[in-house]
Structure 1
Amino acid sequence: MRLSELSGKEIVDVKRAERLGILGQTDLEINENTGQIETLIIPALKWFGFRKQGGEVRVQWKHIKKIGSDMIIIDIPDNE
C-alpha cells in the first residue's frame, strides 16, 4: 500500500471508541534502514481561547489492526 492511499483516513482507537485524527495531519517515524513506517505521531491539540494546548499520541505500526477504505483501526494495549 502506498502512503498516498493512507492519506485522509481517520484514525480510530477501538478500545476508547474515539477518533484520534486523520492521517495526513500526522507525522510518521520511518526506519531509515528498511523504509518501513514504525510509528504514527498524532497531534493531540485542544483549543482553549486562542491558545493551542496538547501533546501527541504515538501509535506503533504493530498496533494497527485494520486499514479500511476510510478508516484505520488501532488497538493499543493497556500496559503501553
Structure 2
Amino acid sequence: MRLSELSGKEIVDMKRAERLGVLGQTDLEINEKTGQIQALIIPTTKWFGFRKEGNEIRVPWGYVKKIGADMILIDFPDE
C-alpha cells in the first residue's frame, strides 16, 4: 500500500469507538534504516488550527489492526 492511499483515512480506537484523527493531519515516525513506519503521531489538541507541542498520542504501528477503505482501526492493549 502506498502512503498516498492512507492519506485521508480516519484513525479510530476500536475499544472506545473514538475517532483519534485523520491520517494526513498526523505525523509518521519512520525507521531511517528500513523505511518502515514505526508509529503514528496524532496531535490531541489544536488552537486556532495550530498544533500545540507536547500534546500528542504515539501509536506504535503494531497497534494498527485493520486498514479499510475509509478508516484505520487501532487496538490499544489493556494496561
Normalized against structure 2, the TM-score is what? 0.88
| Residue 78 (structure 1) aligned with residue 78 (structure 2) | yes
Percent of pairs identical after alignment? 74
Larger relative strand fraction: 1
Segments of 5+ residues of structure 1 without an aligned counterpart are none
1:46 deviation in Å? Answer: 5.3
The aligned counterpart of 2:56 is 56
Segments of 5+ residues of structure 2 without an aligned counterpart are none
| Residue 6 (structure 1) aligned with residue 6 (structure 2) | yes
The aligned counterpart of 2:15 is 15
The aligned counterpart of 2:38 is 38
Normalized against structure 1, the TM-score is what? 0.87
User: How many aligned residue pairs are there?
Assistant: 77
Q: Deviations over 1:12-71 (max 9, x none)?
A: 000111000000000000000100000000000155x9xx76710110000000000000
1:78 deviation in Å? Answer: 1.9
Q: Secondary structure of the residue that 1:29 maps to in structure 2?
A: strand
**Which protein is bigger by CA-based radius of gyration?**
1
Aligned structure 1 segments of 4 or more residues deviating by more than 2 angstroms: none
